[in-house]
Amino acid sequence: MQNIDITRRLSKLMPTGALLIAFIFAAVLLAQEKEKEKKQEENMSIGDRFHHETCMTWKGAIGDMLSKKPPEPPQYKSYPKAEKIQLPKPEYSGMTVEEALKKRRSIRNYSTKPISKEQLSQLLFAAQGVTGKMYGKALRTAPSAGALYPFEIYVVVNNVQDLPRGIYHYSVLDHTIELVKAGDFRDQITDAGMKQETLGKSGATFILSAIFDRVRYKYGERGMRYVYMEAGHISQNIYLQATSLGLGSVCAGAFLDEKVNQLIDVDGKKEAVIYLHPVGCL
């Protein structure tokens, strides 16, 4: 009689025990998996980790929606005290896109002939010119994630007809340039660009600088990827426009970050230079 009772009791206990064992087993597996992932991340290069940690998953996307994000910075940057120069209307009509695509080449040697203000105007318009409106927002020549436009464009004017040398900021809304620093910056931009002479011998060298929180406030860390993608869009616009104007250009990703950031007075954290783009006459 007593034996039967014990068996009954055991059989009642068994499912709970099995459940407990299964639970412990799952917890161990999960901990092992987490440990493995941590080890994997530890062995990753900074580049691999950047990509890995900004990968999108449904779980991550939901987590990201709930995560704390930086506040939205102003959409436009301006220099209210700076001298403002109105640029000619960008009305140039050149070769077809197909021709420009076929002809585009990275060109690093330029003649001493200055580029014209009209050409500068057209190039800035190609980079970030306003081409439309949506919900009161100014849309531009290059696409931007969420139409948030993280980029500011600066121009080191080295050799532009009727325009004093200096560093200017492109004001997209009114198609003007604002004089940020007057003077000859040919040597400084060359030094900051790791002695790439093309940067100082150009008619103008474009500096593409990104304000990261403009995209991060909405997309979190994933937004950092978008910034680099957008630099490519803007760069290609400059390349194709330069080709169509019969000018030479090259994009430059090799430069001393701190030095170029200092040149335009940005901190390299909230805002940093991503790309350089000299353009000159052939």
> What is d(CA 128, CA 233) in angstroms, rounded to the nearest whole number?
10
CB of 20 to ligand FMN, least distance (A): 56
Residue of 172, 252, 263, 273 interacting with ligand FMN (CB under 6 A)? 252
For ligand FMN, the closer of residues 246 and 253 by Cβ is 253
> What is d(CA 216, CA 222) in angstroms, rounded to the nearest whole number?
7
> What is the side-by-side order of every strand in the sheet holding 84-86?
84-86, 176-182, 166-171, 151-157, 204-211, 271-281, 247-249
Rule CB under 6 A: say whether 106 interacts with ligand FMN.
yes
CB of 272 to ligand FMN, least distance (A): 15
For ligand FMN, the closer of residues 175 and 186 by Cβ is 186
Number of residues that bind ligand FMN (CB under 6 A): 9
**Region 107-136 residues binding ligand FMN, contact defined as CB under 6 A:** 108
CB of 106 to ligand FMN, least distance (A): 3
Lookup result for tokens 């917890």:
27
Strands (E), 45-165: 84-86, 130-134, 137-140, 151-157
Angle between helices 117-128 and 222-244 (to 10 degrees): 150
Determine the residue with CB nearest ligand FMN: 253
**Strand partners of residue 218:** none
Per-residue contact flags (x/-) with ligand FMN for residues 212 to 251, judged by CB under 6 A:
--------------------------------------xx
> What is d(CA 120, CA 249) in angstroms, rounded to the nearest whole number?
13
> What is d(CA 44, CA 59) in angstroms, rounded to the nearest whole number?
22
For ligand FMN, the closer of residues 82 and 95 by Cβ is 95
For ligand FMN, the closer of residues 215 and 252 by Cβ is 252
